[in-house]
Structure 1
Amino acid sequence: MAEALDPYPFPSSLYVSSSVTLKLNDSNYLLWKTQFESLLRSQKLLGFVTGQIGPPEATVTVTVNGAVVTTPNPDFEAWTCTDQLIKSWIFGTLTEEVLGYVHGLATSQEVWLSLADNFNQSFIAREFDLRRRLQLLTNRGKDFLVYCQKFRAICDQLSSIGKPVEESMKIFTFLNGLGREYDPITHVGSTVLTTAACSIPLCDIQAFSSSTQDCSASSLAIR
């Protein structure tokens, strides 16, 4: 006969940091959440934080020597142990500042939902700030490589909070931030610039910059 599955597993020897490599801070919530959900799902524990695996009754009634008595429910104790284990996992992946928001909460679900509420509210302001920085970014006074790095970093940060920049807007914004010396390249076509700005390795961008500047110089000479 197959052994029944434990409804409340207790993998206390699990090395959490090998699965959740990030310490949750103000800028990486979605990445942290993705890692943590994968860990919980792999252990069949995700329902504890979503509410699908709720607590059983704390007590049960049993008959002892013909008398009905109330006794602690062993399933409730098992559920509580697993729930507190998950909560300790979460606490272990928080920065000290973030831990201060949730350290007094009782269950893993309360902690999980509180973190979601706090960070989802902050995402609105963060998205506004990042999009504003992207619109104002220019390569004036910057090396072309530095401009590309800053542009890509802001786009990556927007993606990390679930607000990726659409490709068409990415192209427009990147071109808009270039100085007049790059006009010949902006007229070549947006496809080349999209590849240069967002896809090629950083080690190749400097070469692109040099070729761009050579093209600009040639164009100015012709004029």
Structure 2
Amino acid sequence: MDNNTHAENHNVNSTSTTISSDNLDQVSVQSNLHPLFLQNIDHPGLVLIYKKLIGKENFGPWKRSISIALSAKNKLGIVNASYKKPEETSSLRAQWDRVNDMVISWILNTVSEEISNVMDFVTSAQEVWEELHDQLSSVNGHRVYQVLKDLYALEQSDKPVKIYYHKLKNLWDEYAALEMVILCKCGCICGNHKLQEEREQRKKLLQFLMGLNNSYSTSRGQILNVPFIFNFTSLFLG
């Protein structure tokens, strides 16, 4: 499998501002828009997130957190190979090597010692990323089961509504990270994706309402009489 295919299989979604390799010629490496830019405060011991990767059971949430952190640092191009390794003769090669080593350190700083010990001789951040993905990304059925069980059992009880909602949202987010997202690749324009998203939001709304205390029964009844409210969080948390 070539690097481009492998990188695609391990693609990391990001909303950060990035520039493709083809358009970087006009951007100075001293600019924070360049993937090889390093701040004065950057160092190998930097801990980007405090969520430690311990195994398959928390790979999904860990991957999401470290991806966000690397995106904020504009370093996703290093791990997913969207920014290519410069040739040996390139003036940027030394800087790429430095940034690559830095990113390896940042990633390994957030994994358990047991996992990091087997990565001692991996020489590129992309290889570290792919190795972790290959070893730990398989869906943990026991964890999916537990998350769904916790979701269906969660009720407001004596918790404030905001705390109840955020506990519920954390479980939704973890379940989404554990389960593979199936994307439409046929280029259809039927709007099915939007309908599916609305259906998912409707299901979350009903789950949220079911767990509320009886003191909200009047509000719950009023909401259920409305055909559909997409942004339901503003009803109680706005």
Which category of TM-score, normalised to the shorter sequence, fits these structures?
0.5 to 0.7
CA contact (8 A) 1:23 1:95 kept: no
Indicate how the Cα distance of structure 1 residues 161 and 172 shifts in structure 2: closer, same or farther if over 3 A, else same.
closer
Which structure 2 residue ranges, 5 or more long, are not aligned?
1-25, 178-196
- In the alignment, is residue 106 of structure 1 matched against residue 123 of structure 2? yes
In the alignment, the residues of structure 2 paired with residue 149 and residue 167 of structure 1 have an alpha-carbon distance, to the nearest angstrom, of 19
- Secondary structure at 1:188 match in 2: helix
In the alignment, the residues of structure 2 paired with residue 33 and residue 125 of structure 1 have an alpha-carbon distance, to the nearest angstrom, of 24
Report matched runs for 1:138-177 at 5 Å: 138-139=155-156, 142-143=157-158, 145=159, 149-159=163-173, 162=176, 166-177=200-211
Report matched runs for 1:36-185 at 5 Å: 36-39=70-73, 41=74, 45-51=75-81, 52-54=83-85, 56=87, 79-96=96-113, 98-100=115-117, 102-118=119-135, 120-122=137-139, 126-139=143-156, 142-143=157-158, 145=159, 149-159=163-173, 162=176, 166-178=200-212, 183-185=217-219
- In the alignment, is residue 15 of structure 1 matched against residue 42 of structure 2? yes
More strand by share: 1
When the two structures are superposed, what TM-score results if normalisation uses the length of structure 2? Answer: 0.52
Shift of 1:20: 2.8
Indicate how the Cα distance of structure 1 residues 88 and 12 shifts in structure 2: closer, same or farther if over 3 A, else same.
farther
Shift of 1:95: 4.4
Cα deviations across residues 65-94 of structure 1 (Å, max 9, x unaligned)? xxxxxxxx9876664344223212322344
2:237 to 199, 207, 223: 199
User: Structure 1 segments of 4 or more deviating over 6 A?
Assistant: none
Larger Rg: 1 or 2? 1
Percentage identity across paired residues of the two chains: 18
Cα deviations across residues 34-53 of structure 1 (Å, max 9, x unaligned)? 111221x2xxx543322231
Letter in 1 for 2:163: Q
Indicate how the Cα distance of structure 1 residues 138 and 82 shifts in structure 2: closer, same or farther if over 3 A, else same.
closer
When the two structures are superposed, what TM-score results if normalisation uses the length of structure 1? Answer: 0.55
Letter in 2 for 1:31: S
Which structure 1 residue ranges, 5 or more long, are not aligned?
61-72, 201-223
More helix by share: 1
